[in-house]
Amino acid sequence: MLDRTRSTERYARGFTAAVAAVAALVLAANAGPARAADPGPDRQTPAPVEAVAR
């Protein structure tokens, strides 16, 4: 027959599980798409000089 666990052990296991769950949620919330270190200037094509001069 299984021995009964002490209430202290149950609370410690529950607390450990709660800490692990919060840590997993924090790590998941901070995980996002990686950003480039230096994205550089925009790569849009400039307007033709003739269009700007008018």
Give the number of C-alpha atoms closer than 13 A to the C-alpha of residue 5, restricted to the C-beta side: 8
Kindly report the pTM of this predicted structure. Answer: 0.51
Q: What is the pLDDT of residues 22-50, one digit of tens each?
A: 999 999 988 876 666 665 666 666 666 66
Return the pLDDT at 24.
95
3 state SS of 48: coil
